[in-house]
């Protein structure tokens, strides 16, 4: 019922993924608006933001929402803030995150150097195709092939996972330290505005009539 009558071309859908409707500025403003409207205290919202930012540095694409929600729950942070903060990982930032993480992870694991960025993204695409092919092979007579999967785990996934820990923790700490005072100041200002608005409305209302005093009857007419 709610689907488009005419599907958009693949190129248009990919372009929308890289550039959302209204642009990234509007998307960021909407995310900031949702964060400001969360009812939890500032420290819980900031914990959720830290959980979401850290999750964006992991190579577990497709599971970021679940991981961020789980981390926020363990940290006693706001789960919705964690889900919103996962959008720190987006098509504009993933090349930087992936490049730094794979290179750093390769050095930590003692490899000569990490895969170039274009090969890293190509490896994700290739292993996705291989997983889908092997899944279908379980129900057909085809043979499974895990060659690309083994190469992917050793040269892409593991370096990405290990190398993303340090920048992920640093980014999460910075997000917590930066967001907590901002959110706290906004919440205090919002409470002050609400109190002032309530006081103005109350001041504009007529004073309550003392109990026991009867309301004058009629229109205040004179003696007959």
Task: Note the pLDDT tens digit of each residue in 214-224.
Answer: 555 555 555 55
Residue 75 and residue 50 in contact, taking contact as beta carbons nearer than 8 Å: yes
SS3 199: helix
Do the domain assignments include residue 1?
Answer: no
Q: Largest Cα–Cα distance in the chain? A: 111
Q: In the predicted model, what is the mean pLDDT of the chain?
A: 77
Q: Does 211 fall in a domain?
A: no
C-alpha to C-alpha distances, 69 to 37, 53, 183, nearest whole angstrom = 18, 12, 20
> Into how many domains does the chain fold?
1
Residue 71 has pLDDT above 90, yes or no: yes
Residue 223 lies in a domain: no
Range of lowest pLDDT (20-24, 45-49, 58-62): 20-24
Q: Three-state SS for 216?
A: coil
In-domain check, residue 4: no
> Does 16 reside within a domain?
yes
| Structural domain contains residue 214 | no
DSSP state of 211: T
Q: Which residue has the higher pLDDT, 91 or 75?
A: 75
pLDDT band for 5, please (50, 70, 90 cuts): low
Is residue 131 within 8 Å of 145, Cβ to Cβ? no
Is 110 inside a domain boundary?
Answer: yes
The percentage of the chain sitting over the pLDDT mark of 70, rounded to a whole number, equals 70
Q: Residue 2 falls within a domain, yes or no?
A: no
- Residue 73 is part of which domain span? 11-200
Range with the poorest average pLDDT among 11-15, 18-22, 184-188, 199-203: 11-15
**Residues 193-221: what's their mean pLDDT?**
66
9-13, 58-62, 180-184: least confidently modelled range: 9-13
Least confident of 10-19, 156-165, 195-204: 10-19
Task: Give the integer Cα–Cα distance in Å for 36 and 50.
Answer: 15
């Amino acid at each position: 019922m709610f689907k488009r009558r005419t599907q958009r071309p693949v190129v248009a859908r990919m372009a929308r993924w890289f550039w959302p409707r209204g642009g990234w500025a509007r998307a960021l403003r909407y995310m900031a608006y949702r964060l400001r409207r969360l009812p939890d205290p500032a420290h819980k919202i900031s914990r959720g933001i830290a959980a979401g930012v850290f999750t964006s540095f992991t190579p577990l694409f497709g599971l970021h929402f679940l991981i961020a929600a789980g981390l926020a729950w363990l940290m006693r942070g706001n789960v919705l803030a964690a889900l919103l903060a996962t959008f720190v990982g987006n098509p504009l930032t993933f090349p930087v995150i992936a490049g730094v993480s794979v290179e750093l992870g390769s050095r930590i694991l003692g490899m000569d150097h990490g895969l170039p960025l274009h090969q890293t993204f190509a490896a994700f695409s290739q292993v996705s195709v291989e997983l889908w092919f092997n899944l279908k092979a379980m129900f057909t007579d085809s043979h499974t092939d895990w060659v690309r999967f083994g190469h992917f785990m050793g040269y892409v996934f593991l370096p990405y996972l290990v190398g993303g820990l340090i920048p992920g923790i640093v980014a999460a700490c910075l997000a917590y330290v930066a967001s907590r005072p901002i959110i706290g100041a906004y919440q205090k200002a919002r409470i002050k505005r609400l109190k002032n608005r309530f006081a103005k409305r109350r001041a504009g209302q007529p004073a309550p009539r003392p109990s026991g005093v009867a309301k004058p009857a009629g229109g205040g007419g004179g003696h007959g």
